[in-house]
Amino acid sequence: MAAGYSIVGWNGFKRVYDGMLALGLSLFVLAHFGAGLLSAPAGQHPSEIQLLIRATGAAAFSLLTIILCIGPLARLSPRVLPVLYNRRHLGVACFFTALVHAGLVVLWYHGFSEMNAIISLLTSNPRYASFGGFPFESLGVLALLILFVMAATSHDFWNHVLGPRLWKWIHMSVYAAYGLLVAHVMLGAVQGETGLAQAALAGGSALLVTGLHVVAGRLEWARDRTTDLPPEGEDWLDAGPAEAIPNGRAVILVPPAGERIAVFREGAKIYAVANACRHQGGPLGEGRILDGCIVCPWHGFQYRPEDGCSPPPFTEKIPTYRTRVTGGRVFVEPVPQPPGTPMAPSMAGEAG
Amino acid sequence: MNEAMAGAIWLGLGVYLGAGLLAGLGVILFGLKRLAPEAGRIPWRVRLVILPGLAALWPVVLARLAGVRPAEDRP
Ligand code: HEM
Ligand code: FES
């Protein structure tokens, strides 16, 4: 959280994780390179630089595909959560791998001309009006710019300075980058010598990412549908029987308007807070209460359920909501109180 | 795309990022206390890590320094 910054909040797990990431990337590039050498007819394989360009491009693209699958997978199975915690390391690694790919292209194909290498890259294929012959390199340039902005703003400092909304908006542009890259790889394959297999692989990756998002989205939608709408004339939301909320956990309500609400039970005490974490919008209602604090399932930010404040020295605050228990059922007023407003819990055992 | 257009893009990007690098250097030297008061002293390694972002997003950061911040994000 925002008290004191370091480059990365290092711990043993992250070191192992990053070690495995570096090893995996190196092995991938080596294997791709080797396969390129061996699969070409004897004596006419492409130059080593060209093989390296393909291997690093494929590594960066595959890494981005994995990154985009992690989000929906974590919704389908909590076992994926530890990978989600450190997704930004994958993102930064993806950018640097893609940078090597692009750097080699610029040096190898455009570095020897009289012209500025970047201008040469943008103009060497002028068929911008053509579909199949479109200069796919330009799509890669755009995607690389997006990846750069995302990698450069992945530190928590940026979250804080930009605000959660703008930060999230910037990081959603990863989908635009991925779309551009799918086109980059497909057009590149069609125009180049790697051909249909390469295009099919890129198309398959895009289908996988889309499919997983659709499945996870439908699951969420089905969950949202189960929120009971308030009866006529009643504007408090019905969160169901108190004992149906597992101890230390929450149910998530979707008000007709406004943000989602997480309704927690801790013993007999019922609290309601905003569902979105101040850090990167993680679903607090999928977390649990530990040592008296709600812990975000994504990266572990903590909030006190009674006032929505992070424990000192941290300063994050989320909105709280009024609750009451009537006939054993929990009701929540869908009006967010200003972030950090103290709110006495209602008691699940209360008669009324 | 013709050469003039590509040249303009290249020049525009260079000027934008160059200006951002200058503004960013100013921010990591003098502006961090105001941007992230609760962070305390930010070590130099971290300042270097955020410099590329400053070069890319300097208009937003300067706006934040001038006190512009969307209402829902005010602490
Ligand atoms: C300035 C940006 C970029 C340029 C100029 C560029 C250029 C190229 C070129 C010329 C090729 C064809 C190589 C060949 O077949 O010999 C290629 C292929 C490829 N690029 Fe890029 N690229 C850029 C960015 C990216 C990025 C950001 C990614 C992924 C994250 C990427 C992924 C790929 C992939 C997967 C291939 C296909 C490799 C293969 O055929 O096995 N590229 N790129
Ligand atoms: S989103 Fe990162 S801790 Fe909640």
Is the CB of residue A221 less than 8 Å away from at least one CB of chain B? no
Under 8 Å CB-to-CB from A75, ≥6 apart: which residues? A216, A219, A220
pLDDT per residue as tens digits for the range B34-57: 887 766 778 888 889 999 999 999
The pLDDT assigned to A352 comes to 40
CB A298 near ligand 2, within 6 Å: yes
Q: What DSSP assignment string belongs to A197-215?
A: HHHHHHHHHHHHHHHHHHH
Distance from Cα A99 to the centre of ligand 1, integer Å: 10
B24 versus A254: the higher-pLDDT residue is B24
CA A151 to each of CA A147, A168, A307: distance values in angstroms, whole numbers, following the listed order = 6, 13, 34
- At residue B26, the pLDDT reads 92
Q: Would you identify the CATH topology of the domain A237-347?
A: Rieske Iron-sulfur Protein (2.102.10)
Please state the domain extents for chain A.
12-223, 237-347
The rounded distance, in Å, linking the Cα atoms of A289 and B62 is: 38
CA of A143 to the centre of ligand 1 (A): 10
Q: CA-based Rg of chain B, rounded to a whole angstrom? A: 15
A97 Cα nearest atom in ligand 1: 30
| Whole-angstrom distance, CA of residue A260 vs CA of residue A298 | 17
SS3 (DSSP) at A5: coil
Please tell me the distance from the alpha carbon of residue A135 to that of residue A123, in angstroms, as a whole number.
9
Number of domains in chain B: 1
Mean pLDDT of chain B: 85
Q: Which domain holds residue B20?
A: 3-73
State how far the Cα of A322 lies from the Cα of A270, in Å rounded to an integer.
10
Give the Å distance between the CA of A274 and the centre of ligand 1. 42
Residue with the bigger pLDDT between B6 and B12: it is: B12
Return the exposure string of A229-238: e unless at least 16 CB atoms fall within 10 Å of the residue's CB, then b.
Answer: ebeeeeebbb
Per-residue pLDDT, A137:
86
pTM confidence score? 0.77
- Whole-angstrom Cα distance, residue A158 to residue A51? 37
ipTM of model: 0.90
pLDDT per 10-residue tile (average), chain A, 352 residues:
54 78 94 87 78 93 94 81 79 96 87 75 73 79 95 87 84 93 87 76 93 88 61 73 89 84 92 91 89 88 92 88 88 89 83 41
3-state SS, residue A290: strand
Ligand 2 and A68: CB distance under 6 A: no
Q: Is residue A130 less than 8 Å (CB to CB) from chain B?
A: no
Distance CA B4, CA A64 (A): 34
CA dist A153 and A92 (Å) reads 10
Do B42 and B54 meet the contact criterion of CB atoms below 8 Å apart?
Answer: no
